[in-house]
Structure 1
Amino acid sequence: MTTIDFMGKRRIAFIVSIVLAAIAIGSLAIQHLNLGLDFTGGTQVEVHYDTAPNLDEVRDALGAAGYDNYSVQTFGSDREILVRLQQTYSESVGSDVVSALAIQGESPNLIRAEYVGAQVGDQLRDQSGLGMLLALAVVAIYVAFRFQYKFALGALISLGHDVLILLGIFSLFKIEFDLTVLAAVLAVIGYSLNDTIIVYDRIRENIRRSRTNDLPAIFNDAINQTLARTLSTSGTTLLVLFALFFLGGDMIHNFALALIIGVVLGTFSSVYVAAALLLVIKLQREDLIPAKKENVEDGMP
């Protein structure tokens, strides 16, 4: 079994987490999220090419025509292109886009051009936000009953840490945040919690078995004992996500990116946030092992 001193490096990890969280908060406050068409509303135009076009050339053509705040992705097949524009719909927008996309003499055929309202996005955003808060509340109750309230506090801070930094990265680099990314954020919460529960379960078991009060050593043993499982799970998950990122197409590109970042953050926070915070909030053996009641002699009150 490996014997890495994770807890000995927890102060460095805390500094890294605090710096990343501060950058994320600053970026979200100043730049906000680059919300996609699902949230802002706009126009989408679907066109058909006789031969599969180069998406970079399509984007360059739109940029040269003066369009900004647009996204281009394949839709159904590599010859069907969906263009999303954050602009007001007009009757001529379809023909204007087709004219702009006439690449090397080949003009695509217009399939449809329509306005996409933000109402559905608003409803899903609000419902997803409410669902996320409800999920966190249920998580807190579950962890508090299964372990102890200090574990619940550590788990909630860990989940908040992962979501905050993930959103901050999307805000900082102005990556489009749409409903697929929102779904990825919710998935990250589940993944991070699963990893945290496994570490917590081993910590609780080791505390009950151990005769020492050296909690950092107990935590190190627990994390090292689960390290092989954590790395194998994270590694195989990342293999699938990288395949989706590079081969899955534009439709799920940001979804896969959000999950890749979330898996890395979840693995880090399970050790250096969820576990290490238990030392900060003063977890003790007595919190998990009730003190034995002293025998009372007969006849004594």
Structure 2
Amino acid sequence: MSDLKVINFMRLRSLASVLSLILVVGSLATLLTKGINWGLDFTGGTLIELVYDKPVKTADIREQLAAEGYDNVVVQEFGSAEDILVRIPGDDPKLGATVSKLLGQNYEGKVEAVRVEFVGPQVGDRLRDQGGLGMLFAMVLITLYIAFRFQFKFSVGAILSLAHDVIFTLGLFSFLQLQFDLTVLAALLAVIGYSLNDTIIVYDRIRENFRKLRKGDAIEVINVSLTQTLGRTLATSGTTLMVLLSLFLFGGEMIHNFAMALIVGVGIGTYSSIYIASNMLVYMKISREDLIVPVKENEELDQIP
């Protein structure tokens, strides 16, 4: 320990608390005023399967439809570059024929709509409700797990950290009006798992140092623990962000928002592990007494001479 240069992370804890409060309140205000730009997975729409006689680019199809006034359209390959899926708002039964005719006007070849399906808003509502319940259920289980493995004060910090990450990510999507579909929901669940993993590693070191170090108050022990885990955190977050940036830049529009949600989530999750999860331990006055392993009655009797 004498060779370790301890970084005073908690020196900025008051400033970080104010910053986090501003971010959460701002995110909630944005969600209430602007709402979420739900994708077709949640709002419903028409799915059209188009078959071309030669490979085409989805970006070109998307541009053609946007030029004709079709907004919030999802275009993706369906097994090959000739088989294209188009998801578009609306429930007009003639939409498939209209879209295939429109795309065929500037195409030197044949394009045909082979399947047209309508997904009603009831299905989207059910997906939205189930997704929200899934996140709440995951957070409840996480709270119980942290409280059982560590101590109740740790579970409060962990759940506030996860809620902070999710609210900020949702607020950013609302502010930028990025489309929220099932891939983004999956990214949010992945963010919860990533942030929790980082928090547990920090908590494990804090608990170990509370029992190991005989000197120092809670802030000093937390600073030592964060310093010891910093290298691992930077290595993990750095390599993860490199992969996500590659997906964001070169993965195509279909996973653009998915990668965006994960990039934001990994960044804010690393921050919250330090300045939300660990900071809450200071506010809740964590002490060595909270982490003392209780001695069983039989063990006490055995120690009596």
TM-score, normalised on structure 2?
0.87
Alignment-derived partner of residue 179 in structure 1: 182
- Given the alignment, which residue of 91, 98, 101 partners 1:99? 101
Task: Report how many residues are paired.
Answer: 291
Q: In the TM superposition, what are the counterparts of 1:270-281 in structure 2 within 5 Å?
A: 270-281=273-284
Q: Secondary structure at the match of 1:201?
A: helix
Q: Which amino acid is 2:85 matched to?
A: L
Q: Is the 8 A contact 1:49 1:108 kept in 2?
A: yes
CA distance in 1, matches of 2:79, 2:12: 49
Q: Is the 8 A contact 2:47 2:88 kept in 1?
A: yes
Alignment-derived partner of residue 142 in structure 2: 139
Q: Is the 8 A contact 1:143 1:152 kept in 2?
A: yes
Deviations 1:150-202 (A, max 9, x none): 11100010000011011111111111111121111111111111110110110
CA distance in 1, matches of 2:194, 2:270: 9
- Given the alignment, which residue of 250, 258, 261 partners 1:255? 258
81-90 or 270-279: bigger deviation = 81-90
The alignment-based identity, stated in percent, is 52
Cα 1:77–1:246, aligned 2, differ >3 Å: closer, same or farther? Answer: farther
Q: Secondary structure at the match of 2:82?
A: strand
Q: In the TM superposition, what are the counterparts of 1:9-158 in structure 2 within 5 Å?
A: 9-90=12-93, 92-102=94-104, 104-106=106-108, 108-158=111-161
TM-score, normalised on structure 1?
0.88
Cα 1:172–1:75, aligned 2, differ >3 Å: closer, same or farther? Answer: farther
Q: Is the 8 A contact 1:74 1:249 kept in 2?
A: no
Cα 1:60–1:76, aligned 2, differ >3 Å: closer, same or farther? Answer: same
User: Runs of 5+ in structure 2 lacking a partner?
Assistant: 296-305
Q: Which amino acid is 2:61 matched to?
A: V
CA distance in 1, matches of 2:42, 2:17: 34
Q: Is the 8 A contact 1:219 1:275 kept in 2?
A: yes
234-243 or 276-285: bigger deviation = 234-243
Deviations 1:83-108 (A, max 9, x none): 22111232x21121123223644353
CA distance in 2, matches of 1:223, 1:129: 32
- Given the alignment, which residue of 198, 207, 211 partners 2:210? 207
CA distance in 2, matches of 1:166, 1:244: 18
Deviations 1:34-87 (A, max 9, x none): 111111111122223344434443233212222223222333233333222111
278-287 or 44-53: bigger deviation = 44-53
CA distance in 1, matches of 2:61, 2:195: 38
Q: Secondary structure at the match of 1:211?
A: coil
1:281, distance to aligned residue in structure 2 (A): 1.9
User: Runs of 5+ in structure 1 lacking a partner?
Assistant: 293-301
Q: Is the 8 A contact 1:47 1:80 kept in 2?
A: yes
Alignment-derived partner of residue 191 in structure 2: 188
Q: What is the aligned-residue RMSD (CA, Å)?
A: 2.2
